[in-house]
């Protein structure tokens, strides 16, 4: 089991990585928007773990964790695994 602080740290790094991957897509593409939105979700949940800051209702549900990420999941399966692992571990807290 991962501690809250460890999960928060990995979540902050995941959010950075999601933003970097988003930058590889055209700024107006759906993939770019989806990745940035997922980064915001992961970052909000990481702040909750670290500081107890409530997660805004619009940032509670990950589309990637629920639906697999579509083509992003095909192109970046390791990233999708990290997203799913983070959200599964977050549910424990």
Contact between 67 and 87 (Cβ < 8 Å): no
pLDDT band of 72, cuts 50, 70, 90: confident
pLDDT digits (tens, 9 = 90+) for 27-41: 999 999 999 999 999
pLDDT band of 1, cuts 50, 70, 90: low
String of b and e for 53-89 (b: at least 16 CB within 10 Å)? eebeeebeebebbeeebeebbeebeebbebbbebbeb
pLDDT digits (tens, 9 = 90+) for 57-66: 999 999 887 7
What is the token pair recorded at 50?
A: 């670290």
Cα separation, 48 vs 61, whole angstroms:
14
């Amino acid at each position: 089991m991962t501690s809250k602080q460890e999960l928060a740290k990995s979540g902050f790094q995941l959010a950075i990585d999601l933003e970097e991957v988003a930058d590889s897509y055209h700024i107006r593409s759906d993939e770019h928007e989806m990745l940035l939105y997922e980064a915001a979700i992961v970052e909000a949940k990481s702040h909750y773990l670290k500081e107890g800051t409530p997660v805004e209702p619009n940032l509670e549900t990950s589309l990637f964790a629920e639906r697999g990420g579509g083509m992003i999941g095909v192109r970046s399966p390791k990233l999708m695994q990290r997203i799913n692992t983070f959200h599964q571990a977050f549910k424990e807290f």
